[in-house]
Structure 1
Amino acid sequence: MKRKTYYNHIKMKSLITIVIITLSITLGQAQQGKISIEQDDRIEDLLDIYKSSNENHEYYRIQVGFGSYAQAQRIKENVEIDFPDLFSKIDFDSPTYRVRLGRFKTKLQAERKFNEVRVKYPDAMLLKPKKST
């Protein structure tokens, strides 16, 4: 009987030792941190300038397709593969989603790329900038 008690005592000590080691490893590796990002206040000013310049400037664009949102996503994925150098965007123009490419400042640039795009997307349309009021 003494022997059994001795083995139980050793097992209990081993178990307590394992639990203590496990807890110390777990708690020792757990890290709590706080991240703070400091940025120059002028970055916000630059972003505002960038946004306003893009809003005020109209571009020629190429529309390659339209439909439901799922259809527009598929078209956009294909266009990004076919023309990775062109900016592409899905615009909602009620009642459909339209996939439009590019931001061309001049009509000549837009027409050159439009001819290239039409080979792959025959239904593509060249969109003129809206007149500013």
Structure 2
Amino acid sequence: MTISPKKLLFTVFLALLLSFTNLYSQSENEKIDNLIEQKRAFNKKNKNSIVYKIQLYNGNETDAYKIKLNFNAKYPEYTIKIIYKSPEWKTQVGNFNTRLEADRVLNIIKGKFSGAIVLEDKI
């Protein structure tokens, strides 16, 4: 059985087309993988992590420090900070990684500090 020149030419053309398509798709996949790696590197350098804090007080400086001392006496295992954001002083507890963790601590301290709330913050 002989193959006509037209069929042979068509088969060669089809094979070449498929090989070019395959090379192009591999090239595109490599570009996509490269972009994903660049994005990962960027995210590591420019980390904007969200943390959760419990705010115990928002008001004047004297009361903020009183609440800090009172909290430290009752719950020394948690870190507490006084932050000044004009025009008020804030007494805040911890940097919790998850909202669930912050809510658990809030439930523990809610009896002594009824006005406490969980806030989301970027670091």
Q: Aligning the two structures, in what range does the TM-score lie when normalised by the shorter sequence?
A: 0.5 to 0.7
In structure 2, give the amino acid aligned to 1:114.
L
Choose which of 73, 89, 95 in structure 2 pairs with 1:97: 89
Q: How many positions carry a matched residue from both structures?
A: 78
* 1:56 CA drift (Å): 4.5
In structure 2, give the amino acid aligned to 1:58.
I
Show the 5 A alignment for 1:103-118.
103-118=95-110
- SS of the counterpart of 1:129? strand
Gaps (5+ residues) in structure 2? 1-44
Tell me the residue number matched to 2:6: none
1:105-127 superposed Cα distances (whole Å, 9 cap, x missing partner): 01111110011111110111110
Higher relative contact order (CA 8 A, sep 6+): 2
Identity score, percent? 32
Tell me the residue number matched to 2:66: 74
Tell me the residue number matched to 2:55: 63
Gaps (5+ residues) in structure 1? 1-52
Moved over 6 A (4+): none
Please provide the CA RMSD for this pair: 2.1
Give, in whole Å, the separation in 2 of the partners of 1:83 and 1:99. Answer: 14
Give, in whole Å, the separation in 2 of the partners of 1:78 and 1:56. Answer: 32
* 1:128 CA drift (Å): 1.5
Answer 1 or 2: which has greater strand percent.
2
- SS of the counterpart of 1:119? coil
In structure 1, give the amino acid aligned to 2:113.
Y
Give, in whole Å, the separation in 2 of the partners of 1:63 and 1:92. Answer: 13
Normalising to structure 1: TM-score of the pair? 0.53
